């Protein structure tokens, strides 16, 4: 199975905040990523965080990184139905952005 772990499913109501969690294994990973995958589509890069940062905010997205616990989270503010998708976290084990190790994905369902 994957070394990067995520919960399988999250359901929220439209307008609420969503928090998707991830634990990773390689403390030397330089970058950690969040990708979004809609049904039948490829992966869309949402955001990434450098390992020397604790937090990164990008519009409705906030990424929190706890290096001590190897825990990464993605918070989506004011979640919309269009945010329904599978979200993957990934770590960059070769520290060059070219060889990503992904979690199994969290399916986010947003109810109107």
Partner 1 sequence: DAGVTQSPTHLIKTRGQQVTLRCSPKSGHDTVSWYQQALGQGPQFIFQYYEEEERQRGNFPDRFSGHQFPNYSSELNVNALLLGDSALYLCASSLQGGLYEQYFGPGTRLTVT
> Would you put residue 111 in left (φ > 0), alpha (ψ -120 to 50) or beta?
beta
Provide the token pair at 91.
Answer: 């770590």
Per CB under 8 A, does 7 bind partner 1?
no
- Least distance between partner 1 and beta carbon 53 (Å): 13
Q: Give CA–CA dist 72/89, Å, rounded.
A: 8
SS3 83: helix
Assess 91 for contact with partner 1 (CB under 8 A): no
The answer to whether residue 48 forms part of the interface with partner 1 (CB under 8 A) is yes
Quick one: 42 or 112, whose CB is closer to partner 1? Answer: 42
Least spacing, CB of residue 92 vs partner 1, in Å: 6
């Amino acid at each position: 199975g994957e070394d990067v772990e995520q919960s399988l499913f999250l359901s929220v109501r439209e307008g609420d905040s969503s928090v998707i969690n991830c634990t990773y294994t390689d403390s030397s990973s330089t970058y950690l990523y969040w990708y979004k995958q809609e049904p039948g589509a490829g992966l869309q890069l949402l955001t990434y965080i450098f390992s020397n940062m604790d937090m990164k905010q990008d519009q409705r997205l906030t990424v929190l990184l706890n290096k001590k616990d190897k825990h990464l989270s993605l918070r989506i503010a004011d979640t919309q139905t269009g945010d329904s998708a599978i979200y993957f976290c990934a770590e960059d084990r070769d520290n060059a952005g070219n060889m990503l190790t992904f979690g199994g994905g969290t399916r986010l369902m947003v109810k109107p």
